[in-house]
Amino acid sequence: MLKDIIFVNPIDNFRLWLRFEDGVEGEVDVTELVEFQGVFEPLKNPEFFIQVAVNPESGTVCWPNEADLDPDVLYAKVSGLPLPTFNEREWQPS
């Protein structure tokens, strides 16, 4: 399901407005996805949080300290679709 994020806009209360490459867009509350601990601790500072950007190589959002969020999780939150499942029997190593 991996869809790249092509636009991010930080909004109030630790939320992000996201647009994906397929045109799906919407709001995500980051407080529902992470605890502000470890690599995510700096994000609890609103001035740091708004430094979010799109990383075109990974197709997701990231911050200056290299914290990032899984684009599949973000897409599921915005689109309302379930997360993809991993079936070990279908996976074949390259």
Residue 68 falls inside a structural domain:
yes
- CB count, 10 Å around CB of 20? 20
pLDDT on residue 89: 53
**Residue 64, C-beta contacts closer than 8 angstroms, at least 6 positions apart:** 48, 51
pLDDT tens, position by position, 34-73: 999 999 999 999 999 999 999 999 999 999 999 999 999 9
Three-state DSSP class for residue 78 = helix
Six token digits for residue 9: 């806009």
- Tell me: pLDDT of 82 over 90: no
pLDDT mean across residues, the chain: 90
Q: If 0-12 CB within 10 Å is exposed, 13-18 middle and 19+ buried, where does residue 59 land?
A: middle
Structurally, how many domains does the chain consist of?
1
Q: What is the CATH number of the domain that holds 48?
A: 3.30.2020.10
Residue 92 falls inside a structural domain:
no
